[in-house]
Structure 1
Amino acid sequence: MDELWEGVLPQLRERLGTQNFETWIKPIRAKSPAADELALEVPNKFFRDWLAEHFLASIQELLAQVAQRTVKVSLSVNQHLPPGAAAPKRVERESIKPQRVSNLIPKYNFENFVVGASNQFAHAASLAVANQPGDHYNPLFIYGGVGLGKTHLINAIGHRIVERGPGLKVFYLSSEAFMNELIASLRRDKMDEFRTRFRNSDVLILDDIQFIGGKERTQEEFFHTFNSLYESHKQIILTSDQFPKEIPDLEDRLRNRFEWGLIADIQPPDVETRVAILQKKAEIVAVPLPHDVAIFLASNIDSNVRELEGSLTRLGAFASLTKTPITVELAKEVLQNTLKGNQREVTVESIQKTICDYFNLKLGDLKAKRRTKNIALPRQLAMYLCRKYTSTSFPSIGNKFGGRDHSTVIHATKTIEKKIKADPQMSATIEKLEKNLSVRK
């Protein structure tokens, strides 16, 4: 049996990487107390627990492949073994090569993420996953509009996991990049390498998962990757601009799996949170931002965080290059094409008013429980336009229409989409409504 262990070591080195092999495999002493059993002795309890959680499954799998039979593996502590790199203080960042982490964005961390009512739940869920990956909320699915902080949060999770467990393999990429790597692997006939890379990760973070909708081969491959990671208790983190049930052309088996764990949404930040975001950003980029200017910007730019921060960057650059103090008047001049006062804001409330005016209804009609045709269709149109022109989530839209369930909003949206394809008159009606909303010229 000792020969079996020696025979599997090269494969373990290849699968786990040199750093993990030297840290976690090389210090092990193997013994054979009985046939078809391998006893692995390790230096301490920390080593044993880490090995069991992160590498035991790979050891058992490779032993079975080499032996052509199931091999029972036991772990025990032998304090007389040299500790090697197994003690916690030995496994610090300086001993771990950066290639264990794939593409995490350095600037995004929990320390510079501004928490407000709009993102509090998603932030709390992200912290929980970062502190105990694979334990409770798996997968973690974060959804919300563009530029609201989804990418920031998932990168913060990745960085925190690496800080707490430097030997873990954390992969972060967009779902488009995942598809491109899949295509490249197919062309080069290296699908085994592709599967090994992703299915042996400890944490897989995929941004914009809605991109795989309609892409059958990518969905097929990700389905098996998801299953492999989930069954091994590895953490899966996904983001989307849509609720899982809303993602078009997504296979039901994936849609269902996305709902196995925890779903958290991010809403547009309120004005107080926007002020805090601006102040934090100004501190990071060293822009002297007066409080009255921060309030002015936060009150007039409310589409998303990305635009808010971009506006501060432009304002700061202009002030620096022209040696001009930052004032409200300067902000109005520099950001005149961005500020809300120059364009009509589309909100759930403005859509409801437009629908009521067009169909000669009262707001109470849209919120009432009645399902008569003269009210049901306008209500569905309103919900459809809310999803199209605002970043408000399904549950929040439902709340603004008399406390309806998110599934009602999903049904309304899909109903209108079908009517648009089948009925030219419906398309004409929506075009008129969009003109009234000032979103179509």
Structure 2
Amino acid sequence: MTEGFASDSDLPDADGLWAACLDRLAQDIPEQQFNTWIRPLVAQVADDRRKVVVSVANRFKMDWIRAQYATRISAVLETLAGEKVALELALAPREGPSRTMPAPRSMQDQLLAELPDVAPAEPVAPSGTRNRLNPALTFSTLVEGSANRMARAAAMHVAGSLGQLYNPLFIYGGVGLGKTHLVHAIGNHLLSERPQAKVLYIHAEQFVSDVVKSYQRKTFDEFKERYHSLDLLLIDDVQFFANKERTQEEFFNAFEALLAKKSHIVLTSDTYPKGLADIHERLVSRFDSGLTVAIEPPELEMRVAILINKAAVEHAVMPEEVAFFVAKNVRSNVRELEGALRKILAYSRFNQREISIQLARDALKDLLSIQNRQISVENIQKTVADFYKIKVADMYSKKRPASIARPRQIAMFLAKELTQKSLPEIGELFGGRDHTTVLHAVRKIAAERQQNTELNQQLHVLEQTLKG
């Protein structure tokens, strides 16, 4: 359903427009992407709400936000404001010039190629920096089910006996399944038992940034002191180390130093160690040397429990029949469940109505509309085969000519984007292929889409055809 303009009674004032925009974007954009790219933005809204100037830290971020998010931000602003809004991206003024000599040019070029999203002039975090743990993410607030039982048990063992078994602990699974919650829970449990322990939670992209900045500012001794002295390192999404040679080398060194002093390392990823692409074999072998556990999408009973528990945290009562109704319609991950719950609670409070199945239907009507038009992998295969003039049977055959392999990869990409099937399930429907083959296809087409205008247009046509 296309978004329309808000009614006059719903319109936020100039001061509230950007805050309302952030709230809406937080529901639509994956949490890690939102926290990395959107949350740090600062906006100035004109009194008449017709112009919004967003300040961005550096040109890299500006170009990325313009390419990936500007259209969505503009659409949300216009929906909230009820009229056209001019969105302008501007570089935030720097506080002052750097007085540190730059790294040698050849090394700087290599390192800048690895920098994900942080301005080169920012200083490396000092030794003894905060642990970055979210105190709300604990074992007690994590709902247990068959989907995460083994991972939770392993995590609790690590938290209670640091540096012994399961080192490293490698947790993998799809987006929004609770990997980050689990690693925070490990850190929080350890600090409750050993308040003086040196613990750090960090996303892989931030580690990349720290490596780059330590070389640029010649503060590598501080970098090593910070990372090599930890008792527990919790690092999220190590797949972001792909193709970053210098970062992989420094992480390998930190990994070895921590194991040598019997510190513990916990890592998460979207795939199991041997499925990681463009990461050096010696790192992969280290990742695979401890315990590797998966988190699966939550089963129905677990989804129901998650909804009831999270509603209670918000001081709301979620009737069990409503929780079952929502859980049956939101099946992919915990993050989408939380988004659905937020919509229901907001709708209930705004309309001053008790939570019921009918209220849930009203609050989630857009989501349920999408569910009713559920797209199947089989339909995707047929649509793509027709578009590229190949046989449907070629989608699950072993043939590999480019005229067949390319459409097959596109179909795999669309299956991942438009259905709730897991990578192994998609692979099975494409002739019993391994899930790593599907992952490679998804990443390849997603990357090429950003560069290839013709491919992007073809994908747009296919998506509109499939969505009806």
Q: Please, what TM-score do these two structures have when normalized by structure 1?
A: 0.63
| Structure 2 residue corresponding to 1:313, chosen from 342, 346, 359 | 342
Q: For 1:437 and 1:119, locate their aligned partners in 2 and report how far apart those are by CA, in whole Å.
A: 33
| Structure 1 residue corresponding to 2:189, chosen from 141, 160, 170 | 160
Q: Residue 116 and residue 399 in structure 1: after superposition, are their counterparts in 2 closer, same or farther (change >3 A)?
A: farther
How far 1:223 moved relative to its partner? 2.1
Q: For 1:391 and 1:138, locate their aligned partners in 2 and report how far apart those are by CA, in whole Å.
A: 32
Q: For 2:174 and 2:143, locate their aligned partners in 1 and report how far apart those are by CA, in whole Å.
A: 17
In structure 1, the partner of 2:170 is 141
Q: Residue 407 and residue 242 in structure 1: after superposition, are their counterparts in 2 closer, same or farther (change >3 A)?
A: closer
Q: For 2:300 and 2:162, locate their aligned partners in 1 and report how far apart those are by CA, in whole Å.
A: 33
- Once structures 1 and 2 are overlaid, which stretch shifts more, 258-267 or 141-150? 258-267
| Structure 2 residue corresponding to 1:195, chosen from 211, 218, 224 | 224
In structure 2, the partner of 1:250 is 279
Structure 2 unaligned regions, length at least 5: 1-127
Q: Residue 257 and residue 278 in structure 1: after superposition, are their counterparts in 2 closer, same or farther (change >3 A)?
A: same
In structure 2, the partner of 1:287 is 316
In structure 2, the partner of 1:123 is 152
Q: For 2:216 and 2:447, locate their aligned partners in 1 and report how far apart those are by CA, in whole Å.
A: 38
- What CA deviation, in whole Å up to 9, does each residue of 1:200-256 have, x standing for no partner? 111100112223333343333222111212333321111223444554543343333
Q: Residue 215 and residue 405 in structure 1: after superposition, are their counterparts in 2 closer, same or farther (change >3 A)?
A: closer
In structure 2, the partner of 1:38 is none
Aligned: 1:274 with 2:303: yes
AA partner of residue 132 (structure 2)? N
What SS does the corresponding residue of 2:367 show, helix, strand or coil?
A: coil
In structure 2, the partner of 1:222 is 251
Q: Give yes or no for contact 2:331–2:420 (8 Å, CA) kept in 1.
A: no
- What CA deviation, in whole Å up to 9, does each residue of 1:61-112 have, x standing for no partner? xxxxxxxxxxxxxxxxxxxxxxxxxxxxxxxxxxxxxx79711111111112
Q: Give yes or no for contact 2:275–2:436 (8 Å, CA) kept in 1.
A: no
Q: For 1:399 and 1:178, locate their aligned partners in 2 and report how far apart those are by CA, in whole Å.
A: 36
Aligned: 1:304 with 2:345: no
Q: Residue 434 and residue 295 in structure 1: after superposition, are their counterparts in 2 closer, same or farther (change >3 A)?
A: same
Identity percentage of aligned residues: 42
In structure 1, the partner of 2:261 is 232
**Aligned 1:23-422 pairs, distance under 5 A:** 102-339=131-368, 341=370, 344-346=373-375, 348=377, 351=380, 361=392, 382-387=411-416, 389=418, 394-400=423-429, 404-406=433-435, 409=438
Q: Give yes or no for contact 2:170–2:293 (8 Å, CA) kept in 1.
A: yes
Q: For 1:132 and 1:392, locate their aligned partners in 2 and report how far apart those are by CA, in whole Å.
A: 36
Q: Residue 429 and residue 325 in structure 1: after superposition, are their counterparts in 2 closer, same or farther (change >3 A)?
A: closer
What SS does the corresponding residue of 1:437 show, helix, strand or coil?
A: helix
Structure 1 unaligned regions, length at least 5: 1-98
Q: For 1:254 and 1:314, locate their aligned partners in 2 and report how far apart those are by CA, in whole Å.
A: 42
Q: Give yes or no for contact 1:293–1:331 (8 Å, CA) kept in 2.
A: yes
What do you get for the CA RMSD once the two structures are aligned? Answer: 3.9
Aligned length: 338
Q: For 1:261 and 1:349, locate their aligned partners in 2 and report how far apart those are by CA, in whole Å.
A: 39
AA partner of residue 122 (structure 1)? A
Q: Give yes or no for contact 1:301–1:340 (8 Å, CA) kept in 2.
A: no
